[in-house]
Amino acid sequence: MNSKKLFELKGKVAIVTGSSKGIGLAIARGLSENGANVVLSSRSQETVELAANQFQKDGLSVLAQSCHVGDEKQRIKLVEKTIKKFGKIDILVNNAAINPVYESIENMSNEVYDKMFNVNVKAIFDLSNLCFPFLKKEKSGSIINIASVEGLKPSLGLGIYSVTKAAVIMLTKVQAKEWGKYGIRSNAICPGLIKTKFSKALWENQALLNQVKNELPAGRVAEPEEMIGLALYLASSAGSYSTGGIYTADGGHMTI
């Protein structure tokens, strides 16, 4: 087999949450450029349509569908709209997440705690379950959960976010263990510090940037596009024997 064909996604249908910008948008473009029909989603229909318009100008197959992943009805609608448009689901990338506060755990309110778990964990659990019948039907489904190195090694001020990402990592392993018999693979990508709006407060911190430059093996912050390679591998036939894996893309963060 031509090795290039291992990464082809022609005819595949992928849902990518939180994909109007940042890591989600980069991964969505990577999947789309390799042949997938991609469903872009974010809270705002306007912003997701702006992203989709650029895809369409480039000749890529895309559906723009707003979805606040923390809302059960909107999750259901996202899946229904995908099936109505493309007829199936092969790939689910659970990327949407929040981290509304930078605070120690003793100062974290119950309200923020519940909100973070609802969006960062429950939404992945429920959306994966909603997609399950369609992934099972295709017998070659791929779930890619975007976790974080914070779920492996916590940083000060990101405690509850770290706990949610640790939960995502374990959920990924459970999905892989229980759903492997249906031909469904589930893997997690754990990015390090990526230059996105989501992490702007961190990469705009000069003291932190100096620390990154001096201590991180890669010596720099990553761009969102640097997450595409792992996602493409895990979504395609190239990763057909990979499931239950936790993949870091962190510039060596876990070595320090």
Please name the residues in contact with 212: beta carbons below 8 A apart, sequence gap of 6 or more.
193, 219, 220, 221, 251
**Hey, CA dihedral for 255, 177, 78, 28, is it positive or negative?**
positive
The number of angstroms, rounded, from the C-alpha of 24 to the middle of its chain's C-alpha atoms is: 6
User: Percent helix, strand, coil in the chain (nearest 5)?
Assistant: 55, 15, 35
The number of angstroms, rounded, from the C-alpha of 197 to the middle of its chain's C-alpha atoms is: 15
Neighbours of 52 (CB within 10 A): 22
The identity of residue 124, as a single letter, is I
Q: Contact, 127 vs 78, CB < 8 A?
A: yes
Listing from the earlier edge strand, what are the strands of the sheet with 142-146?
Answer: 62-64, 37-40, 13-16, 91-94, 142-146, 185-191, 246-249
Q: Are strands 142-146 and 91-94 parallel, antiparallel or unpaired?
A: parallel
Nearest to 89 by CA among 97, 80, 102: 80
Q: Contact, 93 vs 39, CB < 8 A?
A: no
Is 233 designated active site? no
Catalytic, out of 102, 161, 182, 247: 161
Q: Contact, 128 vs 184, CB < 8 A?
A: no
The identity of residue 255, as a single letter, is T
- Report the catalytic residues: 161
